[in-house]
């Protein structure tokens, strides 16, 4: 399922190929986030045009809305959303973490009040995997507890022990039940271009907060259980950047070479390049589309706020390498759209930002293939951060 194609000589950066039922993914890769089964403001054809290889769906939100009855009637999320390429679904653990004031954690799972109407719900390892199987994602994530930052070592250790016990339950449920629930496993005709992979994959999630020994312990325990890939979770939860990098440094060296590594919920362009240099293969983040809705565009010289007056007469495109669909519009015009509250501004900025991220991953892959990843990374970060110093 995962084939390691090339490793950079100077860093731990890797080029790989992950085969899923709905297609082959070239890594390193960034996954646009489609929380509600759609990437905000963009049509699925836009994502194909941008070069998206895979998108992420949200188990918690899709279980609430539209609900599993609707998903079953549509024969899975791929058909429901008209997306016939790979989908990864998170487990709902992070969303439950964000509902800290409304939740109660037990051995069974997490009881909480949902954010829509306050009604009581329970997510367990088994129910999370069942929801993901019903959605029919290509990659399902185990249900974990995401410890807060900061937390003391005892809390982190107890949380990790619970996540490991839940991981075993996730693996058992998945092996015993996926073949009778995943829509495209029941009917292969639901896949436009099927590959040799005929089952839903499952990834484990390394936890352990800021404690190096716990990160190592978590990685080794998950490997013993056995998953198709491994994520590093519990990052981007309020910790400073150096702690985020340390979490990757403390986890990735203990993960197998022949399985994909996924840093969850990250990050800025420089952060992603630094983590690729540490052997990370996959990323997801809401940042490109979220900041677009606040008027921010990514450029090679750092992010810019298009609403600022300095762009009023600026006839240049957002960047010299922006997508042709955006390059025809000047910064001045996009600023005008933003100030006039026109929807096109949100579409153009979202389209551009995702193109910037996906293009960065393509350039990283090329640099690894060409043996000059370190030079590419250092030059990109130097230019990107020059104006912020």
pLDDT tens-digit map of 258-308: 999 999 999 999 999 999 999 999 999 999 999 999 999 999 999 999 999
Specify whether the CB–CB gap between 275 and 266 falls below 8 A: yes
Q: Which positions ≥6 away from 107 have C-beta within 8 Å?
A: 162, 165
pTM of the entire predicted model: 0.97
Nearest to 137 by CA among 211, 65, 76: 76
- In total, the chain counts a number of residues equal to 389
* Numbered residues of the known binding site for substrate: 90-94, 144, 207, 234
Which string of DSSP letters, residue by residue, matches 286-318?
A: SHHHHHHTTTEE--TT--EETTSGGGTT--S-S
Q: Of residues 8, 90, 138, 228, which has the active-site annotation?
A: 90
> Is the pLDDT reported for residue 2 higher than 90?
yes
Specify whether the CB–CB gap between 159 and 147 falls below 8 A: yes
Residue 389's pLDDT band, with cuts at 50, 70 and 90, is low
Residue 358 burial (CB < 10 Å; 0-12/13-18/19+)? buried
What HEC string does 57-126 produce? EEHHHHHHCCCHHHHHHCCCHHHHHCCCCCEEEECCHHHHHHCHHHEEECCCCEEEECCCCCCEEEECHH
* Numbered residues of the known binding site: 90-94, 144, 207, 234
Determine the pLDDT at residue 384.
98
Q: Is 284 a catalytic residue?
A: yes
> Is the pLDDT reported for residue 328 higher than 80?
yes
Nearest to 234 by CA among 263, 270, 202, 271: 263
Q: Of residues 46, 138, 228, 284, which has the active-site annotation?
A: 284
Q: Is 90 a catalytic residue?
A: yes
Range of lowest pLDDT (113-117, 142-146, 151-155): 113-117
Average model confidence (pLDDT) across the chain = 96
> Is the pLDDT reported for residue 96 higher than 90?
no
Q: Which positions ≥6 away from 266 have C-beta within 8 Å?
A: 235, 236, 244, 272, 275, 283, 284, 285
Give mean pLDDT, residues 310-323.
Answer: 98
Determine the pLDDT at residue 345.
98
Q: What is the β-pairing status of strands 110-113 and 120-123? A: antiparallel
Determine the pLDDT at residue 330.
98
């Amino acid at each position: 399922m995962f084939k390691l194609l090339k490793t950079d000589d100077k860093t731990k950066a890797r080029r790989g190929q992950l085969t899923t039922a709905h297609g082959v993914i070239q890594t390193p890769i960034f996954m646009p986030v489609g929380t509600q089964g759609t990437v905000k403001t963009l049509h699925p054809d836009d994502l194909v045009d941008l070069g998206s290889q895979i998108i992420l769906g949200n188990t918690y939100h899709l279980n609430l809305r539209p609900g599993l009855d609707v998903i079953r009637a549509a024969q899975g999320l791929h058909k429901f959303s008209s997306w016939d390429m790979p989908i990864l679904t998170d487990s709902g653990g992070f969303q439950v973490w964000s509902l800290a004031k409304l939740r109660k954690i037990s051995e069974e799972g997490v009881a909480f009040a949902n954010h829509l109407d306050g009604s009581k719900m329970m997510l367990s390892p088994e129910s999370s995997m069942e929801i993901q199987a019903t959605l029919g994602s290509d990659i399902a994530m185990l249900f974990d507890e995401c410890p807060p930052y900061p937390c003391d070592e005892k809390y982190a250790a107890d949380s990790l022990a619970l996540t490991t016990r839940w991981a075993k339950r996730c693996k058992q449920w998945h092996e015993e039940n996926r073949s009778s629930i995943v829509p495209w496993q029941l009917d292969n005709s639901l896949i436009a271009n099927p590959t040799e992979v005929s089952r839903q994959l499952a990834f484990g999630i390394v936890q352990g907060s800021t404690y190096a020994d716990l990160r190592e312990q978590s990685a080794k325990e998950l490997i013993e259980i056995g998953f198709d890939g491994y994520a590093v979770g519990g990052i981007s939860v309020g910790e400073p950047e150096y702690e985020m990098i340390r979490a990757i440094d403390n986890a990735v060296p203990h993960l197998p070479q022949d399985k994909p590594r996924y840093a969850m919920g990250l990050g800025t362009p420089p952060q992603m390049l630094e983590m690729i240099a540490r052997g990370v293969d996959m990323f997801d983040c809401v940042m490109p589309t979220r900041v677009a809705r606040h008027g921010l565009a990514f450029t090679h010289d750092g992010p810019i706020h298009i609403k600022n007056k300095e762009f009023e007469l600026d006839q240049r495109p957002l960047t010299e390498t922006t997508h042709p669909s955006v390059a025809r519009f000047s910064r001045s015009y996009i600023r005008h759209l933003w100030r006039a509250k026109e929807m096109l501004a949100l579409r153009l900025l979202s389209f551009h930002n995702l193109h910037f991220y996906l293009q960065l991953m393509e350039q990283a892959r090329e640099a690894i293939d060409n043996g000059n990843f370190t030079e590419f990374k250092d030059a990109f970060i130097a230019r990107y951060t020059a104006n912020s110093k």
